Structure 1
């Protein structure tokens, strides 16, 4: 089977990805910042979490991510410790350290959030993750927690502007790989249509 993520997208596909996948949402203060784990661009994710904290966009956060091959520390531990080092109070960071994928990030985090805050007390969530994964974060959250208002903030370390992702071979590969997951994941019930 051919790896479709190495294809050159058509103008129509680029336009569809820019309009439907690389969405930006109005940002306002939220009850919770949901930091999805990663091995890539950790510094950018932590910097953005700190910027959001400093500017009063969340009062509590959860960091979710398990141990990945080649590491002895979980994504959660690495990111949460870096957030604390930047100045976010440890008591404002909930931790989930078992998840191996985006679905597990949400499924395993919900009981942690419920125990600490009560799900009914959380009305709005900012999802923070990689640019190329984009709307799949809130779509996954929407599948398992439809009641909460979702906002999206994404980060990456590419020098290429987001709107020109298709001009950078690695950015393009990551974007197309994620874009190609949307419809199959919806069909399997992993994610729900959002917004």
Structure 2
């Protein structure tokens, strides 16, 4: 099996296994102080669905939606996703908006600033991040870089009609996963990410 034409990598069984192990990480999910919902143009519906499920299951009591880019509807990501959350039964009073971030690092940094401005930062000891499954490790590593002391969990959102483990057989999903795979080492070297700490990020092997 080979990867999509725009990639330089061949999807060998060994590479698939390494990507599954390192990139597509899972964590235990337990009740957290905050759900950090990363804004998106491409997978907003799936991310909102995951967040609504966390809310309904009683796993989070506050949701911070971060995203300052404009969507096709002309709304900011955070505003559009907030509307969808409210439609899904998450009370507006339990949602915090961060509307300036345009990349993952800013999502985390500006969210921390927002929490500090509201006097809530010191009350947050655990976070469930919600974002695309393909970027699961990068979200956690970004949190590790900017918010190392908080307990970090990931609730991945998958917009594709296959299970996460089926990504190699879905060209668009595979292209997204391989794009993420190519980002990790350059981002680490640039200081955008930090490797995960098993004490604050309980990975499931």
3-state SS of 2:135 partner: coil
Change (3 A) 1:78 1:6: farther
Change (3 A) 1:98 1:71: farther
> 2:7 and 2:103 mapped to 1: Cα distance?
19
TM-score, normalised by the number of residues in structure 2: 0.89
Deviations 1:137-175 (A, max 9, x none): 111011001010000011112112211211111111000
Match of 1:82 among 84, 97, 103: 84
3-state SS of 1:129 partner: strand
Post-superposition shift, 1:68? 3.5
Q: Within 5 A, what are the aligned runs for 1:178-193?
A: 178-193=180-195
Corresponding residue number in structure 1 for 2:200:
none
Post-superposition shift, 1:118? 2.7
Structure 1: 4+ residue segments shifted above 4 A:
none
Corresponding residue number in structure 2 for 1:168:
170
> 2:8 and 2:73 mapped to 1: Cα distance?
28
Structure 1 residue runs without a partner (length 5+)? none
Structure 2 residue runs without a partner (length 5+)? 198-205
Corresponding residue number in structure 1 for 2:123:
121
Deviations 1:53-90 (A, max 9, x none): 01111111100011247552111011111101111111
Corresponding residue number in structure 2 for 1:133:
135
3-state SS of 1:154 partner: strand
Q: Within 5 A, what are the aligned runs for 1:30-109?
A: 30-68=32-70, 70-109=72-111
> 1:25 and 1:97 mapped to 2: Cα distance?
27
3-state SS of 1:62 partner: strand
3-state SS of 1:34 partner: strand
What is the Cα-based RMSD across aligned positions, in Å? 1.6
3-state SS of 2:156 partner: strand
3-state SS of 2:90 partner: coil
TM-score, normalised by the number of residues in structure 1: 0.93
> 1:180 and 1:83 mapped to 2: Cα distance?
32
3-state SS of 1:79 partner: helix
> 1:190 and 1:70 mapped to 2: Cα distance?
28
> Is 2:14 the partner of 1:12?
yes
3-state SS of 2:27 partner: coil
